[in-house]
Amino acid sequence: MIYDIGYLFYWLVITVLIGGYMGWRHETSGPQAPWFEGWVRVALIALGVGFALALVGLLGGRLGFWLESTVLFGVAYGLGGLAGGALRRQLAA
């Protein structure tokens, strides 16, 4: 996975920036619903299963690269979204 981070570094940075923008854009100041419901739960479970498969190395070659890339991009987007939302909440307070 370290190779994937080096190979896809610029794309991962762009993904973090897009996630940050989306987190900034969709942060609300009012009361919020619990975050671990609906599609977020399914996405986090899928990301966890993908991470476990990538960690074990069950898939090799091209499929393994696709799986690792998907996990990396999902994590990068999620972290960017969390950071963007937190930044907007912090600046609004």
- 84: confidence class by pLDDT, cuts 50, 70, 90: very high
Q: What is the mean pLDDT of residues 48-66?
A: 89
Chain Cα centroid distance, residue 21: 13
| pLDDT number for residue 13 | 96
pLDDT 10s digits, 1-55: 788 889 999 999 999 999 999 999 988 777 777 767 778 888 889 999 999 998 8
Distance CA 88, CA 53 (A): 35
Q: What is the mean pLDDT of residues 57-66?
A: 88
Q: What is the mean pLDDT of residues 52-78?
A: 90
Would you list the domain boundaries of the chain?
2-25+37-88
What's the one-letter identity of residue 66? W
Distance CA 93, CA 80 (A): 20
- Of residues 91 and 37, more confidence is placed in 91
